[in-house]
Amino acid sequence: MIFSGSFLTIMATIEDVVRFLSDIRLIKLCQSVATALTLYDHVLTVSDEVEYIWKKKWSLPTLLYFITRYSADLLLVLTMAAFFNPQISQNSCFIFIRFQGWSSSLLYFSMQGILLIKLMALYNEDERTKRFLIFAYVLQLLLASGVNLYGNILYFQADIEPFPGIHHCTPTGVPPWFPVWWLPMILFDATLFVFALRIGIKHQREVQPLRRDSIIEIIVRDSILYYLAVLSINGVNALMWLALKGLTYEIPQGFSIAAVCVLGCRMVINLRKASKDSKMGGSELQEFDVNGLVNTVPDRASDESEVISQATTTTTRSSKEIFSNLV
């Protein structure tokens, strides 16, 4: 049987429409789940946020916490509004596409800022390492922002009716090279992970007498796990941008935003909570104020605290030096 060219064209168009509708349905589902998870986590931690964030004095880590938490909430809610509003205008869709890109960048950069401050506190006396980490952070921020700006100015467009009768705010003109946007962030995340792993190995070798549930132990352990998690999230996102076709590259974005938000915010809250718990226990009395991550107060004299103090002194940092620089 021989089909005419017009018939084949119609069939191809129908296939494209069916694929597009399937992609949109999956994207909306994933976006809804990611939004629900993020808002639910915020509800679960709101009492801790009031106690350990709102009641503490303002500082850079506090600011980064608020940016991470509330930019994610706002971005996910507005994304839901744009995706589920069939009456969205062309101009509003175009503005949203721009907002989505830059707000996502802001969220990732603020989360990385939290990770950076935490790692720099562990390298308290190593000025060379701290300067290198700051340089790497600024460099990846500039490179990623440059790629985003270049793509937004020359390529990105928006379409509210990609097929006749089908209304959905859809980004168009995304260049095939745009996943390179992830490369500076992935390299920086890998750098943070390597330095966190290095300090973790050194801690295990030099501070064995330190209690397993001490705050320093929590900081070192969480550093490795959090940095590995963030590195994995951004790596998977970049791979899916390269591997998936059509609009399906948007599927992991909601989950990525949710994961980055939850990890970054819980990191700050958990550290401050651990500090307060240790203060109540009387072994390591540090009070978080997020300008460092904590302010230190004198310890009670005890045999256990002497052992911990002696063990900590064998490292290049003391617990007091760490906590005076940790949020």
Question: Residue 39's domain is classified under what CATH number?
Answer: 1.20.1070
Give ∠ CA 100-102-105 in degrees, rounded to 5.
105
- Residue 52 carries which DSSP code? I
Q: What is the pLDDT of residue 305?
A: 46
Q: Per-10-residue mean pLDDT for the chain, 327 residues long?
A: 45 74 89 96 95 88 94 95 90 92 93 91 87 96 94 86 85 85 91 88 67 60 79 84 76 89 90 68 42 42 44 44 51
Q: What is the pLDDT of residue 241?
A: 80
Contact 265, 73 (CB under 8 A): no
Structural domain boundaries enclosing 253: 5-263
Q: What is the pLDDT of residue 109?
A: 95
Q: What is the pLDDT of residue 80?
A: 93
How many structural domains is the chain composed of? 1
Q: Is residue 249 part of a domain?
A: yes
Whole-angstrom CA distances from 318 to 122, 124, 219, 275, 326 are: 10, 9, 14, 16, 12
**Among residues 128, 230, 217, which one has the least CA distance to residue 187?**
230
Q: Is residue 279 part of a domain?
A: no
**Among residues 277, 4, 177, which one has the least CA distance to residue 12?**
4
Q: What is the pLDDT of residue 217?
A: 65
Q: Is residue 151 part of a domain?
A: yes
Q: Is residue 139 part of a domain?
A: yes
Q: Is residue 275 part of a domain?
A: no
Q: Is residue 307 part of a domain?
A: no
Q: Is residue 207 part of a domain?
A: yes
Contact 67, 110 (CB under 8 A): yes
Q: How many CB atoms lie within 10 A of CB 135?
A: 10
Q: What is the pLDDT of residue 300?
A: 41
> SS3 for 296?
strand
